[in-house]
């Protein structure tokens, strides 16, 4: 995408939003050379894979259902509506990227969980508890334990890289 002002070839996307039914993506762009900001709209032909439900039934992918699930999980959480839209967009894009004709509702759930986990832990647990419909307190406890382990691993790798950084500078 060229800058309309200075014709610089490189511009970066600074924000993108999807219209409700994913027909139009609106992107704010910024020219890397002159800083000029402009908006582009992409109209896309969306072909979602069919959704295979747990019982084996097929249905049309329903973005409003995804929206409901995610916004319920994010209720009263400090996540801006902008971030919320970006999350929905990225989940929708990933669903479209699966080149298969069909996607299981389970796979959609996993994609959503992965996105929420990076964004907000509380929302993640909320969504997981509905989606995986924990039937007992143990399975819920197992999820929390799993999250804690992942976090500790992350911290360890962070500390390691910090140490190696320090080693390099001295
Ligand atoms: Zn420019």
Q: Which candidate, 128, 134, 129, places its Cα nearest to that of 112?
A: 128
Q: What is the pLDDT of residue 167?
A: 54
**Residue 166 pLDDT exceeds 70:** no
- Residue 41 alpha carbon to ligand 1 centre in Å: 18
Q: What is the pLDDT of residue 37?
A: 93
Q: What is the pLDDT of residue 123?
A: 92
- Residue 36 alpha carbon to ligand 1 centre in Å: 5
Place of tokens 């999820």: 143
Q: Which candidate, 72, 68, 65, 116, places its Cα nearest to that of 90?
A: 116
- Residue 35 alpha carbon to ligand 1 centre in Å: 6
| pLDDT band at 106; cut points 50, 70, 90 | confident
- Residue 59 alpha carbon to ligand 1 centre in Å: 46
Q: What is the pLDDT of residue 72?
A: 92
**Residue 21 pLDDT exceeds 60:** no
pLDDT digits (tens, 9 = 90+) for 25-80: 788 999 999 999 998 877 666 678 899 988 889 998 888 899 999 999 999 999 99
Separation between Cα atoms, residue 41 and residue 89, nearest integer Å: 14
Separation between Cα atoms, residue 13 and residue 31, nearest integer Å: 9
- Residue 16 alpha carbon to ligand 1 centre in Å: 19
Separation between Cα atoms, residue 142 and residue 145, nearest integer Å: 5
- Residue 155 alpha carbon to ligand 1 centre in Å: 41
Q: What is the pLDDT of residue 100?
A: 77
Separation between Cα atoms, residue 109 and residue 125, nearest integer Å: 13
């Amino acid at each position: 995408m060229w800058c309309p002002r200075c014709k610089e070839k490189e511009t970066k996307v600074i924000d993108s939003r999807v219209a409700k039914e994913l027909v139009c993506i609106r992107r704010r762009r910024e020219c890397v050379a002159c800083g000029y900001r402009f908006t582009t709209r992409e109209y896309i032909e969306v072909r979602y894979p069919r959704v295979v439900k747990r019982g084996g039934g097929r249905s049309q992918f329903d973005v409003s259902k995804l929206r409901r699930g995610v916004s319920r999980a994010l209720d009263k959480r400090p996540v801006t509506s902008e971030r919320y839209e970006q999350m929905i967009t990225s989940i929708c894009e990933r669903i479209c990227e699966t080149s298969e004709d069909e996607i299981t509702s389970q796979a959609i759930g996993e994609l959503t969980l992965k996105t929420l986990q990076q964004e907000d832990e509380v929302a993640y647990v909320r969504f997981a508890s509905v989606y995986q419909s924990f039937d007992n307190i143990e399975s819920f406890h197992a999820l929390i334990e799993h999250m804690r382990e992942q976090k500790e691993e992350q911290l360890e790798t962070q500390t390691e890289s910090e140490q190696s950084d320090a080693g390099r500078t001295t």
